[in-house]
Amino acid sequence: MSDLDYKSLLKKVVDGSPSKKIDDDRFKLPKVEIFYEGNTTVIKNFDKISDAVNREPDLILKFLLGGLGTAGELDGTRALFQGKIPARQIQDKIKDYIDTFVMCSECNRPDTHLVKQGRTTLIRCDACGAFRSVKSRRKKVVQQPAVAALKEGMIYDLTIKDIGRKGDGVAFLDKYVIYVSGAIKGAVVKVKIEKISGTVAFGQIVQV
């Protein structure tokens, strides 16, 4: 076979390779099925989510509980969370987990597994062989000590971590999810608690 014939054949193979299409199609996270039972938020298909990202359910749950600032547990194929947590907020945290603990930073594929080296956790990509360290995005809240119970009428220093679907700021303190009217993401504000329902509270920014 001549060199010209070889190059022509190689070009046909490369041009016909569906590599980009595979990258786009092969990783599809199942739609997160969320519903509410009283004051409990339930992810019905948590097992399918953990299977899709190839991570242990308890590891994903631990990340979500820390990010959502609530308590919860696994219940068979489901995951239970205290309080009525907006679906968008849960979906955003799941995406954060995938970005942090699953996706390869080099080839952007999910074919990875976790590797422990001493106290350091690394992500190794089985597709391209790349390594990267895992750095948690969560930050310790140091504005004030954790409290046993939130109290209506009291003022607290809070950091707005997210924006709810109705436009309110979302902050976390101990086991509580606090919605703050008119707050913007990233702001540190003084908030007067006006109403508490279970582990969900509502407050207003106050000027002191």
Residues in the chain where the model's pLDDT stays below 50: 6, 10, 13-14, 16-25, 136-148
Q: What is the pLDDT of residues 127-163, one digit of tens each?
A: 888 878 886 433 443 444 444 478 899 999 999 988 8
**Phi then psi dihedrals of residue 88, to 5 deg:** -60, -40
Residues 109 and 94 both lie in one domain: no
Residue 19, in any domain of the structure: no
Residues 73 and 35 both lie in one domain: yes
Residue 129, in any domain of the structure: yes
Q: What is the pLDDT of residues 84-95, one digit of tens each?
A: 999 999 999 999
The number of folded domains in the chain is 3
Q: Which structure tokens are listed for 139?
A: 């930050």
Residue 46, in any domain of the structure: yes
Residue 171, in any domain of the structure: yes
CB 105, CB 98: distance < 8 Å = no
The pLDDT, as a whole number, for residue 115 is: 85
* 46 alpha-carbon distance from chain centroid: 13
**CATH at residue 37:** 3.30.30.170
Residues 198 and 160 both lie in one domain: yes
pTM exceeds cut of 0.85: no
In single-letter form, the type of residue at position 175 comes to K
Residue 98, in any domain of the structure: yes
Residue 118, domain extent = 105-136
Residue 90, in any domain of the structure: yes
Residues 72 and 84 both lie in one domain: yes
Residues 61 and 109 both lie in one domain: no
E strands, 4-77, in order: 34-37, 40-43, 72-75
Residues 32 and 78 both lie in one domain: yes
Residue 82, in any domain of the structure: yes
Residue 179, in any domain of the structure: yes
Residues 125 and 174 both lie in one domain: no
